[in-house]
DNA sequence: CCCGTGACACTCC
DNA sequence: TGGAGTGCCACGG
């Protein structure tokens, strides 16, 4: 923690000089600062309710003005320099402590929030396909819409959209470029090369014949299956047919298989 | 309100 | 086997 007496004093003074409700100031402007992240310097905008907007400095050519302009385009308010960072922000940007950081996601649609929430549940170093996020968000067929939402993720790095990948094993696109997507996954100890090698063989799921559980290849359970007991599958269905059940941790398939054959002629 | 637009997925040759 | 074609859904103009 970085608290000290000076911080306490200046914080108390700020409270005295700014007696208005924080919600009022939030309606007039947002606060911004620059901070180190796993993608180099990053610009961060926030309100009293939490972090609202994050962009790598590189993506705006290191121009804080361009960042503020992008913020204004999106949130309709100007930015003002902050004197201190929200609790937990620096650790979260660094990827060391992802917990206890408040996000201000007001203004997003329910669908967008659900997509970001599902995405934030993907552990570091692991990946899930877009279809998985769609299912976890409660709209199993809104796969393309998930991509649209993530392309506009207001808080990349904090909501780890770089962990959402294509079902065919390719990493897919990324707001800051797919090279950075790969870089982030490697930094998180993701088994990027192993997954790619499996995908080239048509394997997208891995099961253990001792536990009868089938996982995504990035699942920690999958990664500790010894070679002798490891079986690859192209689809979850193929694994189920072989008597495997989906891992309850990485959930490569819905617990209850929907399988409503004729649901096309509704309404 | 219709239409075009995607960080996708699945099916066929 | 992989690339084109088609289906998909949420949004914005």
Q: What is the pLDDT of residue A255?
A: 66
A29-52 pLDDT, tens digit per residue, is 999 999 999 999 999 999 999 999
Residue A27 pLDDT: 78
Asked if residue A67 has pLDDT above 60, the reply is yes
Asked whether residue A74's C-beta has any atom of DNA/RNA strand C within 7 A, the reply is no
At residue A262, does pLDDT exceed 60?
no
Interatomic CA–C1' length for residue A120 and nucleotide C6, angstroms: 31
Instruction: Give the bridge partners for A245, in sequence order.
Output: A213
Nucleotides on strand C lying under 7 Å from protein C-beta: 1-2, 7-11
| pLDDT tens, position by position, A181-209 | 999 999 999 999 999 999 999 999 999 99
Asked if A156 contacts A178 with a C-beta cutoff of 8 angstroms, the reply is no
Cβ of residue A151 lies below 7 Å from strand C: no
Terminal Cα distance for chain A, rounded: 56
- All domains of chain A in start order, with CATH: 29-86 (no CATH), 110-187 (1.10.10.10), 202-257 (3.40.10.10)
From the list A161, A215, A247, A250, the catalytic residue is A161
CA A132, chain centre distance (Å): 13
- Name the phi and psi angles at A91, rounded to 5: -65, -40
Strand partners, A207: A214, A231
Taking 50 as the threshold, does the pLDDT of residue A100 lie above it?
yes
Average pLDDT of chain A to the nearest whole number: 89
Residues A116-128 have a mean pLDDT of 98
């Amino acid at each position: 923690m970085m608290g000290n007496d000076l911080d306490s004093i200046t914080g108390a003074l700020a409270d005295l000089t700014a007696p208005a409700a924080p919600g009022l100031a939030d309606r007039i402007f947002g606060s911004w600062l620059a901070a180190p992240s796993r993608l180099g310097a990053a610009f961060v905008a926030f309100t009293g309710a939490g972090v609202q907007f994050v962009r790598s400095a590189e993506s705006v050519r290191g121009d804080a003005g361009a960042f503020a302009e992008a913020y204004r385009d999106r949130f309709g308010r100007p930015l003002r320099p902050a004197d201190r960072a929200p609790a937990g922000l620096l650790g979260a940007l660094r990827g060391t402590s992802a917990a206890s950081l408040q996000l201000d996601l007001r203004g997003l649609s329910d669908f967008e929030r659900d997509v970001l929430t599902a995405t934030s549940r993907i552990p570091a170093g692991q990946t899930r396909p877009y279809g998985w996020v769609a299912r976890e968000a409660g709209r199993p067929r809104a796969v393309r819409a998930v991509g649209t939402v993530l392309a506009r993720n207001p808080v990349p790095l904090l909501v780890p959209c770089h962990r959402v990948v294509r079902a065919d094993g390719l990493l897919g696109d990324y707001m800051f470029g797919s090279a950075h997507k790969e870089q982030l996954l490697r930094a998180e100890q993701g088994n990027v090369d192993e997954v790619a090698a499996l995908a080239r063989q048509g394997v997208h799921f891995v099961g253990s014949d001792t536990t009868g559980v089938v996982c995504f290849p990035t699942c920690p359970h999958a990664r500790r299956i010894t070679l002798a007991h490891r079986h690859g599958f192209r689809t979850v269905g193929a694994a189920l047919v072989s008597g495997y059940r989906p891992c309850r941790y990485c959930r490569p398939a819905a617990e209850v298989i929907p399988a409503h054959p004729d649901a096309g002629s509704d309404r």
